[in-house]
Chain A
């Protein structure tokens, strides 16, 4: 009975995590398209949601471990229990909601790794975590990804403006908007194949650990379906707060910049994952937008906003680890403790949702840049132009 309760709670929280993942990462693919007016906000999130759902069905191969080697799992290591997975997911969800409330793009994978690390340290001691792998798979890629994507986008933006005479040629704005829509859609599809798969893996490995499913078997249809729908629903409901930051507040993205940024993101993400050097979607797209800002003459990059995002990336892992650790400590005591954690997590999530309602960001206000100087605000509203 205890095992069943635990598994049910893990499945529920995993789907909630999947939802927040889609919710959070809508901005990665669609923020620039919304900012440049290439797509109306509601249309952008619908396209992204459908492509995420399609992506979930395309790729259902499950990794052999939950943490990709960050936690020393298996022979001679620790046993990652469903309770630890549950606690890790609670940490990841709470951190995702916190960064959403603050309107900051941050990696959902890093939040998940952070939560699992916290849970593993509490459950099995510091030795359970392979900090070499943390460095090589989390910390260094987080430093490298935005720089790579930023340089590529900077060059691309410069080239795009140079060839079209600062985008003054007839049809250039419309042309770049079309191009941007297509490259942003590729980013969405790639996101669906990667991120929905992550949650499928977590649920499937939990079912295997609990003995409900044979080791090494593929995800069951209901798992694939539930994960695809959760990420698509999250994407559709849209993290408008994050989109506004990414599309308007880092720099006021114009059509050629949006095209250059999305093309750079799509190329960097696809090539890196194909060559087995997968880079985080969030970090690549954020870097691309900074690069696109730097590549245009006289465009302003708001380094204060960039600094806030960078700080959030630094804090993601430890913060999620802290919540994950506390949850693991409470949840591993008894089934009652587990339920208490679930209730507290629910309360925490509701608290962020209520806080956000006090100054909401919707599809109607997603392109406001009220922190920017007045001159830029005029430019932003002209850019919307409809």
Chain B
């Protein structure tokens, strides 16, 4: 304790938040990358709201499965978040 702040707890908060965010963002971005399968957004990604049409070429099954798993990490993180927010759960 220094200046009334529990700095140890603060370091734990910082490390946990950094690790959790890094895992979620890495998984999500990897999912985006696997689903794109190397295809590039037509206008450089600045303004396109939704990619037009379906995939221009078929995506390998492996990429779809792995991408799905990556997004599942995101879904799991949201559920953990809800568990943390709702006091009735703990």
Residues of A within 8 A of B (CB): 37, 55, 58-59, 61, 132-133, 135-137, 140-141, 144, 148-149, 151-153, 155-156, 159-160, 162-177, 179, 182, 186, 189-190, 193, 254, 256, 259-260, 263-264, 266-268, 270-277, 279, 379, 382-383, 385-386
Contacts and interface: CB of A to CB of B under 8 A. Distances in A.
B62 interface: no
Nearest to A157: B25
B65 interface: no
Interface string B9-41: 110111011101110111011111101101111
A132 B4 contact: yes
A259 B28 contact: yes
24 contacts: A37-B49, A58-B86, A132-B4, A137-B4, A141-B5, A144-B5, A155-B21, A160-B25, A163-B29, A168-B41, A170-B51, A171-B32, A173-B47, A174-B50, A175-B31, A175-B32, A176-B32, A186-B85, A263-B21, A268-B13, A270-B85, A271-B20, A271-B84, A379-B46
B23 to A, nearest CB: 10
B17 A272 contact: yes
Given A58-B87, A172-B32, A173-B45, A156 B3 contact: no
A179 B74 contact: yes
A140 B5 contact: yes
Contact of A382 (B4, B9, B47, B74): B47
Contacts of A270: 81, 84-85
A372 to B, nearest CB: 16
A213 B6 CA distance: 36
Contacts of B6: 277
A155 B18 contact: yes
Most buried by A among B18, B38, B39, B74: B18
B3 A267 contact: no
B1 to A, nearest CB: 9
Nearest to A144: B10
B36 A172 contact: yes
State the 3 A-B residue pairs at the shortest beta-carbon distance, nearest first: A136-B4, A385-B47, A163-B29
Contact of A164 (B24, B29, B51, B88): B29
B14 A148 contact: yes
Contacts of A277: 6, 9-10, 13
Contact of B49 (A168, A273, A276, A385): A385
Query: Does more than half of chain A's interface fall in helix, strand or loop, or is it mixed?
Result: helix
A169 B40 contact: yes
A269 B3 CA distance: 22
A256 B35 CA distance: 16
A135 B26 contact: no
A267 B80 CA distance: 10
Given A135-B3, A155-B22, A163-B26, A276 B36 contact: no
Given A144-B10, A163-B29, A166-B45, 5 more contacts: A152-B21, A170-B39, A186-B85, A271-B20, A277-B9
Given A163-B26, A171-B32, A264 B48 contact: no
B76 interface: no
Contacts of A164: 29, 32-33, 36
A383 B47 CA distance: 5
Nearest to B29: A163
Contact of B45 (A153, A168, A189, A259): A168
A162 B46 CA distance: 16
A164 B49 CA distance: 16
A176 B22 CA distance: 15
Most buried by B among A140, A173, A176, A182: A173
B17 A271 contact: yes
A57 B3 CA distance: 35
A140 B30 CA distance: 36
A132 B3 CA distance: 8
Nearest to A264: B21
Given A160-B25, A277-B9, A277-B13, A173 B41 contact: yes
